[in-house]
Homo-oligomer: A and B are copies of this chain.
């Protein structure tokens, strides 16, 4: 992990680049304001970790390239993947909190982020009402996402959970202007399983089943969405017999 402070000569191009990467949901003028607050650029190798105990973070992080996972560590050594971050998403929105908690941010592949110190963020927000509203909106958006994950974990079956993952991943990649059909996943099956509250074996079997249904193609970490609508439709279906039940291939007629 290497951190580079922003130098005066690169500032102009960097700000422009940053403004382009900020979420579209933000008005252009506000993106311009935020861009000028970039204090440093940080580069990560796969597996590099940004630890985040209590509120030791002191900056927001915009993903520019690559992807991250946030991981919560249980008392017992259990790990739970909470969220995957794609380019143009902001990380550490939960670090405004005063209460202690433990989530790490781990780069899933070579990655680069821009850092915005909380101090400049806050002083700017006090001056600029539109910026302030955007900021509040981002934290609130992230909360809505987390509540959506709660719904997924509490109410959906394994098949639907994987459909949820594929669908939200597709959307995230669209927002990031990445290919939303041919998806080279940056995370392992284990990461996906942890996020979905399943095991790697279940994820593997469900991917195989979806491939047999001709909804997707699976080639190691490359997933091709052959019929994204049918994948999404799995979410609304009343689930029939679980694809994890063996006897699927036993029938022939």
Task: List residues of A whose CB falls within 8 A of some B CB.
Answer: 25, 72, 74-76, 78-82, 93-99, 101, 103, 122, 125-126, 129, 132-133, 135-137, 139-144, 146-151, 153-155, 194-197, 235-238
Contacts and interface: CB of A to CB of B under 8 A. Distances in A.
A80 B150 contact: yes
Contacts of A141: 97-99
Nearest to A76: B236
Contacts of A93: 140, 143
13 contacts: A72-B148, A75-B235, A80-B150, A80-B155, A94-B147, A96-B137, A97-B137, A97-B144, A103-B147, A122-B129, A122-B133, A142-B143, A154-B196
B96 A150 contact: no
A142 B93 CA distance: 11
**Which of A25, A95, A98 has the largest count of B CB atoms less than 10 A from its CB?**
A98
A90 to B, nearest CB: 12
A137 B122 CA distance: 12
B155 A197 contact: yes
**Which of A93, A126, A144 has the largest count of B CB atoms less than 10 A from its CB?**
A144
A94 B133 CA distance: 13
Given A146-B150, A147-B146, A97 B140 contact: yes
Contact of A155 (B74, B150, B238): B74
Nearest to A71: B151
A78 to B, nearest CB: 5
A197 B153 contact: yes
